[in-house]
Structure 1
Amino acid sequence: MKRKRKNYSANEKVAIIKRHLVDKVSVSDLCDEYLLNPTVFYRWQKEFFENGAAAFEKSDARRQRAERKRFEELEAKLQVKNEVLSELMEEHVRLKKTLGVP
């Protein structure tokens, strides 16, 4: 019978990795306890170490990145609106010429 896959939250993954690194629980014991494949554990650990620097970033840098992203999204939205407005104005001028309206 196939067992159902458990989806672990980010906090649960960190807690499992912490038990290995701090509490010195072996990977095999953790994998048995949580019904994990060891390759999954090692993938989590790799991601944890690769993304660990984000935890030490200053919130100011994160906020600036978020603001920059929002600014770029708004610029793109404004560009689309300008293009639509330009098309509408061209259509308006064309209709006025067709109807002979000054």
Structure 2
Amino acid sequence: MKVSRKKFSADFKAKVAIEALKEQKTIPELAIQFDVHPTQIQSWKKQFVEEGSRLFSEKAVDTKRQDAEEARLYEQIGKLQMQNDWLKKKLQ
């Protein structure tokens, strides 16, 4: 019989890591509550602490990237509208 691995969403991992960081319950208690191995909780907690600051630093970069992409798309829409109008005039 094949045993499949459990796959957890990023939201679930973050929720468990935050609960572990709160330290209101022990890791074994959280493991029972969330049905996850204690070692896995420690791993997620460590990963959350190490990479959590990246969330805030990348937000500004993502905003700039989104603005540039948005400007490029609006430019492309404008060109396509001009081409569409030109083709409509040619067909008449």
Query: What is the TM-score when the length of structure 2 is the normalising length?
Result: 0.54
Would you say the 8 A contact 2:20–2:41 is kept in 1?
Answer: no
Aligned CA RMSD, in angstroms, stands at 2.7
Displacement of 1:63 in angstroms is 4.8
Unaligned ranges ≥5, structure 1: 68-102
Amino acid at match of 1:31: A
Larger radius of gyration: 1
Partner residue of 1:29? 29
Displacement of 1:2 in angstroms is 7.6
**1:38-70 alpha-carbon deviations (Å, 9 max, x no partner):** 211111111111111122115332355787xxx
Residue 24 of structure 1 aligns to a residue whose secondary structure is coil
Partner residue of 2:19? 19
Residue 57 of structure 1 aligns to a residue whose secondary structure is helix
Number of residue pairs matched?
67
| 1:44 maps to 2:8 | no
Displacement of 1:6 in angstroms is 2.2
Using CA pairs under 8 Å that are at least 6 residues apart, name the structure with larger relative contact order, 1 or 2.
Answer: 2
Residue 59 of structure 1 aligns to a residue whose secondary structure is helix
